[in-house]
Structure 1
Amino acid sequence: MAASKRGANGVAKEGEAGPATCKDTDEKEGPSLRSEWSSVLVLVVLYALQGVPLGLSMGSMPFLMQARMSYTAIGIFSFAAYPYSFKLLWSPVVDASALPGLGRRKSWIVPLQLLSGAVMLLGGAHAQARLDAGDALGVTLAFFALVLLAATQDVAVDGWALELLSPRNVGWASTCQTVGMNVGYFLSFTVFLALSDPDFCNARLRAPDQASDGGIVTLAGYLRFWGWAYLVLTLAIAALKKEGGRPRPAPAVDNEIFGEGAALCLNHAEPDGHAALHAVPLAAECGAAARHDVEAEHSAAAPTVSQAYWQLLRVINLPAVKRLAVVLIVCRLGMLPAEAAAALKLLEKGVSKEALAALVLLEFPMEMVSAMVAGRWAASGRPFHPWLLGYKVRLVLAALSTAAVYLFPSGAQSLTDAPVAFAAVAALGVATSFCSTLMFTAMGSFYNIISDPSMGGAYLTLLNTIANIGITVPKFFVFAAMDSLTRRVCVDGSSGRPLPGLPGDTCPASAAGHSHSAPAHAACVAAGGECIVLRDGFYTVSALSILAGLAILLWLRADLPRLEALPQSAWRAPLGKKPRPAKDKEL
């Protein structure tokens, strides 16, 4: 492909300086992945530590809150994940500043993880108390602090990943992230949810005469455990792993500053997973004569905070980035209601937390396998091919999951009660997990291909921030819409007719109101009736979202190949000038 592009644009004549000099560079040179095992291990551990608070805030906590609070309150709790969606606001500060003597990345990673450990040790009891009191705002604020620390750490870890791994292996950084985050998420979701469930602990882990109405692990105890783990692992990384990494690449060149030769080298960079990281050094090499006079100005030193913010504005102003941002924001709308609320609706139908934890347990090995498969698949140079396939299948699975919840028999608590229904839910969960991980890893590989390494982790943070906005921001509106479109009424237990004279909120639409322990539901029972669902907003919201997802798919099929075919220069914002309006003809 590179040769054909050079032919189309004209190869420099013999004896002339030009892009042809770049052709001799072997992009496959560099250490093997096996030789960088220590860096891979460090990245997996760091991403796993990030997955711990995320597994709680996005996994376990909605399940624990479901029996005490409404879906709207659970939607409010989704604000706890917002730091991951808006970390771009402070990422330039992280990327451009450091403590002397500790290293550019470890200056942030080490203090933040030590602070995270201290917050878990000292704030675990408070979070438990707010949960027991049904205080959605209090629980949200507690986890907002933890996620804020993890999101800030993620900025530094993303940048360190680009420096720890060689250009040949940097495409595996997204696989390290997928594996690590899934391990942390699995421990905080599946393992914690099972160990905190009294039914699971009484049936599996306790002797019959030691049955209790509580789980083996509480939220406070789990946070204390990870608080100590954070402290120990952070100190070990600080002492044993040097900042090191490959030299920081030269900044992206401007055609008007460095000359035509440098610009042509950038235009010929191929998006194959390696050229993305070689494009800038190659351009600097080809335009060496032109850049000699300004080399001191564009040194390998970290940019100032103001320069980092200006560079982010330049990147955001790129037409290619704008188009990718639209893709990242809308691509999950079709399956979000089904994936975010289906498990909660099963709890409402009577499924035990033990059974749900067992279903999630089946997904974990599939996530590990799919991360490796996606890493190899995406490394082929066309990451959008597996991503788009995952989107199509995931949209179908969202429709099937919605139907499975609708058909699931009420009152079936465990596998023995409804083996076929549980098997269907398990199969859908495993398939959804595979497709989700496939899409996540493939998109991460594309990020690593197009990211400008001269910006450190800021470029990756920008793309991850936009992607997270597409998940966290709509969640509140999804749960609020489910509550507003749901209608329950109190009916006579024998005739099925509505009971007159009861307040309008006797059977609220929320999941908490449907619980037999809720005061509102108790009023209905005291009047000799029971609450039934006349209209469940979950199915309405899910169906409308799937239809929107189908429309989005038609657009994605046409636009993604064009994005993938763009030259490397379309994703790089040159230094030295203020952002200027981009021209559509560049794409």
Structure 2
Amino acid sequence: MQGRNGSPKPMAVSSSLNSIQITPRTPKTPRPPMYSDDDDVELSLLNEEERVQSARDRDEEESVTDSESDLKKPISAKDKRMMALLCVLYLLQGIPLGLALGSVPFLLKEHLSYSQLATFSLSSYPYSLKLLWSPIVDAVFFKAFGRRKSWIVPMQLIVGSLMLYISLNVERLMEDPAHNIIELTAVFLGLVTFSATQDIAVDGWALTLLSKDCLSYASTCQTIGLNTGFFASFTVFLAFNSEAFAHKWGFPQLTLAGYLRFWGIFTYAITAWLIIFKKEDKEPATEADMSIIGVYKQIWAICKLKHIQLLIIVHLFAKIGFAANDAGTSLKLVEKGFKREDLAVVVLIDFPFQIMGGWLAAKWSRGDKPLRPWIIAFWPRMGFAVLAALIVYFFPHPPIPMYFFIIMVVHTIFSSFASTVQFVGISAFHTRISDPLIGGTYMTLLNTFTNMGGTWPKWFVLKGIDLFTVATCQVPKTGVTVKATECVSEHGKAACKHIGGVCHMETDGYYITMGICLGFGVIFLLAFILPTARRLQSLPISVWRVKME
């Protein structure tokens, strides 16, 4: 095994769900001899005014030079092939994510309460905690096999094997999910964990697979691959898994077991191709390489920067405003009678718009104000969350009128577009401020917190929907009304039905949770996010540097 203490030494990688870092290979504008490589380091010890004055000229010169160079050079045939490979590797990550975050919760909703779904949502957390083990993935590898392939190959083999395992046991697990919720959470937790580890290695490989001038396309490959895999496992699968959809269009019904078997075999096939046909280029050693312990110390040093601490607070709370919409709206629509195949049609229509939105947002985020589209998109996302609550409230009894279906399609398209704009905008900002000497570690840290900002509220949202819901069990024959919060869970509903009663919802916790999230989101946006983001965006690159020991 090859480690950071050995030779040759590796470089730090980027590991994120949101973006790929342009790290040590980013060219720098030649500087006069009076400027040494230690200048950026020592600038972090100066006061704010001195740092701004010392760094602004150099930062602007480098930014303009690099941007003009990237725009003029065409994409080579080799870069196109490597982009295709990256899209496939990110696709393999999107498949388990689409299952864990999308289709499986929908299938479980018929049998579990929101609180039980909150337990299953814990399986998605590893994707937001990759920072904890990313330095190990970056540092430990088999030199002869390849630095990135040493992790990508075994992780994909494990993911493929887990898919086959789940396919063989899915009927047992899904037959009584309430009693198997721990095992279901554990197997999907493992699936997401190993996919997240593969993501760390793929993010790092992108830095050498693509040429220097095409590194900015890595995040585009990630967006296309992850979204394609996610939608394949979410909306496409839900549509073909629906008995009504299969009967209507004459397709055989796609089972979860069959779907998992297909992707397990496909993952094996791609992994075999990597082993046999794809040789990994060696990465040169750099001055940024350090021991695993050194990387963890560097992470702590980054966290002690004042501006990083402010950015972390922004990331951890920025998504609360639309957390209830992201976590609960789709489940509520299905509960109201929205068919899974109709949901699939809505999102499939939205998919090409998301891809186009990614390209447009990438253009808007270029330049010295990458956070501008991210900031602007907050307001439409808040507005679309309000509209989502109105759609749930006024949702008609099936069949759904065409006009209402069109409203849902338009809402989904514009809502996801605003989300994509924020996704690309914050990725561009992370790329801009990360220290090239420790770019991978820096990017992993930043994206860990932005991912956690979207993950940690989900458990509380789903718990809150049940907590604030007030239901009564009404027994028509006797005229007895039994007030019971248990009537919101599947167990409580079954108990009510057993005594001949009907659950009547007096207060839907979804709307209360949505109001709390939106209220906090608007206040936090106006009081903290907007002034802080504008200030952080205006700072020179030098203030984001740390002293290398």
Fold conserved (TM > 0.5)?
A: yes
The alpha carbon displacement at 1:481 in A equals 0.9
The alpha carbon displacement at 1:189 in A equals 0.5
Kept after mapping to 1: 8 A contact 2:472/2:483: no
Q: Report the CA distance shift for 1:464/1:127 in structure 2 as closer, same or farther (over 3 A).
A: farther
Q: How does 1:99-110 map to 2 (within 5 A)?
A: 99-110=142-153
Q: Counterpart in 2 of 1:464?
A: 447
Q: Report the CA distance shift for 1:550/1:57 in structure 2 as closer, same or farther (over 3 A).
A: same
Correspondence 1:572 to 2:540: no
Q: What SS is found at the alignment partner of 2:142?
A: coil
Distance 2:436 2:286 in 1: 6
- Residue of structure 2 aligned with 1:88, choices 131, 144, 151: 131
Q: Counterpart in 2 of 1:307?
A: 294
Q: What SS is found at the alignment partner of 1:343?
A: helix
The alpha carbon displacement at 1:237 in A equals 2.9
- Residue of structure 2 aligned with 1:434, choices 396, 408, 417: 417
Q: Please give the TM-score of this superposition, normalised by the length of structure 2.
A: 0.83
CA offsets per residue over residues 84-104 of structure 1, 9 Å max, x none? 121211111111111121222
Distance 1:193 1:174 in 2: 27
Identical positions, percent: 36
Distance 2:274 2:430 in 1: 26
Q: Counterpart in 1 of 2:20?
A: none
Q: Counterpart in 1 of 2:271?
A: 234
Distance 1:503 1:534 in 2: 10
Kept after mapping to 2: 8 A contact 1:489/1:531: yes
Q: Counterpart in 2 of 1:138?
A: 183
Q: Report the CA distance shift for 1:349/1:156 in structure 2 as closer, same or farther (over 3 A).
A: same
- Compare 344-353 and 154-163 and name the one that shifted more: 154-163
CA offsets per residue over residues 231-282 of structure 1, 9 Å max, x none? 111222344433338756543xxxxxxxxxxxxxxxxxxxxxxxxxxxxxxx
The alpha carbon displacement at 1:492 in A equals 5.1
CA offsets per residue over residues 487-545 of structure 1, 9 Å max, x none? 11123559xx9624x5846x6113x358xxx5224225x2xx42211000000010111
- Residue of structure 1 aligned with 2:509, choices 528, 537, 543: 537
Correspondence 1:199 to 2:244: yes
Kept after mapping to 2: 8 A contact 1:51/1:184: yes
The alpha carbon displacement at 1:74 in A equals 0.7
Q: What SS is found at the alignment partner of 2:446?
A: helix
- Residue of structure 1 aligned with 2:280, choices 243, 249, 261: 243
Q: How does 1:238-317 map to 2 (within 5 A)?
A: 238-244=275-281, 247=284, 250-251=287-288, 302-317=289-304
Distance 1:79 1:479 in 2: 12
Distance 2:349 2:122 in 1: 29
Distance 1:556 1:113 in 2: 39
Q: Counterpart in 1 of 2:394?
A: 407
Distance 1:108 1:485 in 2: 45
- Compare 73-82 and 381-390 and name the one that shifted more: 381-390
Q: Counterpart in 1 of 2:498?
A: 523
The alpha carbon displacement at 1:15 in A equals 8.7
Distance 2:468 2:172 in 1: 31
Kept after mapping to 2: 8 A contact 1:33/1:169: yes
Q: Report the CA distance shift for 1:503/1:319 in structure 2 as closer, same or farther (over 3 A).
A: closer
Kept after mapping to 2: 8 A contact 1:374/1:442: yes
Q: Counterpart in 2 of 1:334?
A: 321
Report the AA paired with residue 509 of structure 1: V
Q: Counterpart in 2 of 1:455?
A: 438
Distance 1:382 1:423 in 2: 35
Kept after mapping to 2: 8 A contact 1:483/1:537: yes
Q: What SS is found at the alignment partner of 1:334?
A: helix
Correspondence 1:549 to 2:521: yes
Q: Please give the TM-score of this superposition, normalised by the length of structure 1.
A: 0.78
Q: Report the CA distance shift for 1:26/1:394 in structure 2 as closer, same or farther (over 3 A).
A: closer
Kept after mapping to 2: 8 A contact 1:163/1:246: yes
Correspondence 1:350 to 2:337: yes
Kept after mapping to 2: 8 A contact 1:96/1:308: no
Q: What SS is found at the alignment partner of 2:425?
A: helix
- Residue of structure 1 aligned with 2:75, choices 33, 47, 57: 33
Kept after mapping to 1: 8 A contact 2:146/2:282: no
Q: Report the CA distance shift for 1:349/1:570 in structure 2 as closer, same or farther (over 3 A).
A: same
Report the AA paired with residue 149 of structure 1: F
The alpha carbon displacement at 1:53 in A equals 0.6
Correspondence 1:396 to 2:368: no
- Paired residues in the alignment total 492
Q: What SS is found at the alignment partner of 2:345?
A: helix
Q: How does 1:132-171 map to 2 (within 5 A)?
A: 132-134=175-177, 135-171=180-216
- Residue of structure 2 aligned with 1:499, choices 480, 486, 492: 480
Correspondence 1:323 to 2:310: yes
The alpha carbon displacement at 1:442 in A equals 1.7
- Residue of structure 1 aligned with 2:92, choices 40, 49, 59: 49
Distance 1:132 1:236 in 2: 37
Q: What SS is found at the alignment partner of 2:505?
A: strand
- Residue of structure 1 aligned with 2:488, choices 499, 509, 519: 509
Distance 2:423 2:417 in 1: 10
Specify which structure has the bigger relative contact order, considering alpha-carbon pairs within 8 angstroms and separated by 6 or more residues: 2
Listed as ranges, the gaps of 5+ residues in structure 2 are 1-29, 40-56
Kept after mapping to 1: 8 A contact 2:471/2:487: yes
Correspondence 1:484 to 2:467: yes
Q: For the pair shown, which has the larger CA radius of gyration, 1 or 2?
A: 1
Q: What SS is found at the alignment partner of 2:93?
A: helix
Distance 2:33 2:120 in 1: 65
Distance 1:186 1:16 in 2: 53
Distance 1:380 1:330 in 2: 26
The alpha carbon displacement at 1:351 in A equals 1.6
Distance 1:521 1:226 in 2: 41
Report the AA paired with residue 358 of structure 1: V
Q: Counterpart in 2 of 1:267?
A: none
Report the AA paired with residue 105 of structure 1: R
The alpha carbon displacement at 1:340 in A equals 1.4
Aligned alpha-carbon RMSD (Å): 2.7
